[in-house]
């Protein structure tokens, strides 16, 4: 049955996180961007909120709360509203944990999930993206060659979120014509974790390149065991999560524009009274709304294992990427010169949205 109704619990979570975004994220976002790092304090605070551990079943030491992909989309929107880089850092562990929860064998769950239920921030990362002009997350060039029961991984992965502090990586690789994901410990022989990458946006968020030079892993490293897993589903889920963060960012941009345009006077009246500005903001609102409903539908489908999930996630990713960049770009235009200087957050938001909109597999629902 078609419904857009939030449960009371979802409303409460949304309101709580909106407050958190305003109080704990917005004030530090600029410093993180300028300094190129996210303070440990922040990660500790977010860890205490239990975004990761509460959704891990109690038999693995977690809070055992039911995981709802839709609720998580609502959470991610609020975090994205706070700051995109911080949102990605805060939920980086979830992307990994969700993949294990959804596709891992019992042994994999037992081995890995308890790592995320302790008092200290712990993370592991998806390693999906690769450098190159025709990068396609569904067609990696990183390969896994069988060697007896083992696998030998070779290739290079980029934009691995918080790769500098991850205990494990989930490396997506070609395997005998198909695609699989392999759990690789950070200290595996042949694995080199590179220096932090330099990107136009999300500068506070550390991403790294991984070099895999004949990294040997056992059969137990293959996610899902001997059957492998549907890597497509991990990517779909991540597309929903990325989109949710972008929706929040765009909402924040418009919210920042509205009061400014009412105060900024040009030709004897506030610029908000000019249709060229007012209509543009109307469209920014319209697109943010549309993006949100697409994201919710993707999250809902992903949670239900709906057969249309991949298509839905694809269309959502495509739409949200295009419109979010348009919104962020117009945020700058509305602020004019003030949109260009770093005293205002608008240029940072543009860089962040511009960056996330081309990336994949950065977060999870």
Partner 1 sequence: MIDFTLTENDEARLAHLYAQGEYIRQFVRDADENEAELPPEVLPGAEDFLKTLERPPAPGPEDTQGPAMMTLSAIAQYWGDYSLRLHREGGGGLGNAALSAAGTDEQKAKWGGLLLSMAITEPGCGSDPSRVETTAVLDEDTDEWVINGEKIFVTTGIRAEGVVLWATIDKSAGRAGIKSFLVEKGTPGFEVPGKEKKLGIRCDDTAAYVFRDCRIPRENLLGLDESIPKQSSGGFRGVMKTFNMTRPMTAAMGLGPAKAALDFTREQLEEAGVDLAYGGGTAQQSAAAQAFMRLEAIYEASELATLRATWLAGTGQPNNMESSVCKAHAGSAVRAITQGCVDILGPMGISREHLLEKWMRDCRITDIYEGTGEIQRLIMARGLLDYTRQDLK
CB of residue 343 vs partner 1: minimum separation in angstroms? 24
100 vs 122: CA distance, rounded Å: 15
Judged by CB under 8 A, the number of residues near partner 1 is 56
Q: How far apart are CA 86 and CA 311, in angstroms?
A: 29
What are the backbone angles phi and psi of residue 292, rounded to the nearest 5°?
-65, -45
134 counts as binding partner 1 under rule CB under 8 A: yes
Q: Residue 288 contacts by C-beta under 8 Å, 6 or more apart in sequence?
A: 247, 250, 251, 254, 323, 327
Q: Please, what is the Cα angle at 312 between 311 and 317, to 5 degrees?
A: 100
Pick the closer one to partner 1 by CB: 103 or 168. Answer: 103
The answer to whether residue 137 forms part of the interface with partner 1 (CB under 8 A) is yes
Residues 293-352 that bind partner 1 (CB under 8 A): 293-294, 296-297, 300-301, 304, 306, 310-316, 318-319, 322
Residue 194's contacts (CB-CB under 8 Å, 6 or more residues apart) are: 163, 208, 209, 210, 211
> Segment contacting partner 1 (CB under 8 A): 90-98, 117-125, 198-206, 270-278?
270-278
3-state secondary structure of 307: coil
Cβ-in-10-Å burial (0-12, 13-18, 19+) of 326 comes to middle
User: Shortest Cβ distance from residue 306 to partner 1 (Å)?
Assistant: 7
Q: Which of 110, 131, 262, 342 binds partner 1 (CB under 8 A)?
A: 262
Nearer to partner 1, 317 or 351 (CB): 317
Q: Nearest distance from residue 46's CB to partner 1, in Å?
A: 24
Contact 41, 82 (CB under 8 A): no
Which residues would be at the binding site for partner 1 (CB under 8 A)?
1-7, 10, 70, 133-139, 232, 235-236, 254, 258, 261-262, 272-273, 275, 278-279, 281-283, 285-287, 289-291, 293-294, 296-297, 300-301, 304, 306, 310-316, 318-319, 322, 360
């Amino acid at each position: 049955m078609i419904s857009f109704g939030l449960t009371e619990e979802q409303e409460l979570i949304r309101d709580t996180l909106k407050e958190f975004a305003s109080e704990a994220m917005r004030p530090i976002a600029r410093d993180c961007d300028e300094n190129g790092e996210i303070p440990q304090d922040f990660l500790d605070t977010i860890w205490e909120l239990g975004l990761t551990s509460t959704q891990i079943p109690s038999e693995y030491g977690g809070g055992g709360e039911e995981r709802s992909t839709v609720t998580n989309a609502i959470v991610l929107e609020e975090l994205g509203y706070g700051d995109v880089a911080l949102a990605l850092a805060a939920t980086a562990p979830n992307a990994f944990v969700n993949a294990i929860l959804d596709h891992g064998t019992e042994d994999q769950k037992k081995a890995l999930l308890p790592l995320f239920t302790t008092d200290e921030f712990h993370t592991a990362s998806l390693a999906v993206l690769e450098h190159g002009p025709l990068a396609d997350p569904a067609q990696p060039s990183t390969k896994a060659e069988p060697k007896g029961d083992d696998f030998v991984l070779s290739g290079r992965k980029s934009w691995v979120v918080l790769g500098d502090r991850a205990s494990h990586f989930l490396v997506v690789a070609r395997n005998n014509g198909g695609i699989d994901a392999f759990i690789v410990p950070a200290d595996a022989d042949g694995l080199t974790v590179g220096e932090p990458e330099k990107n136009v946006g999300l500068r506070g968020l550390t991403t790294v390149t991984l070099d895999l030079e004949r990294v040997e892993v056992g059969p137990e490293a293959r996610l899902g065991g001997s059957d492998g897993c549907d890597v497509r589903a991990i990517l779909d889920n991540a597309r929903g999560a990325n989109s949710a963060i972008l929706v929040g960012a765009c909402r924040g941009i418009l919210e920042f524009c509205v009061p400014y345009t009412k105060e900024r006077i040009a030709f004897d009246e506030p610029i908000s009274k000019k249709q060229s500005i007012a209509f543009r903001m109307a469209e920014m609102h319209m697109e943010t709304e549309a993006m949100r409903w697409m994201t919710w539908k993707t999250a809902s489908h992903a949670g239900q294992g709906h057969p249309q999930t991949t298509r839905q996630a694809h269309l959502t990713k495509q739409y949200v990427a295009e419109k979010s960049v348009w919104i962020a770009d117009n945020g700058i235009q509305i602020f004019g010169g003030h949109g260009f200087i770093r005293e205002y957050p608008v240029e940072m938001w543009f860089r962040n949205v511009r960056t996330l909109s081309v990336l994949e597999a950065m977060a999870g629902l």
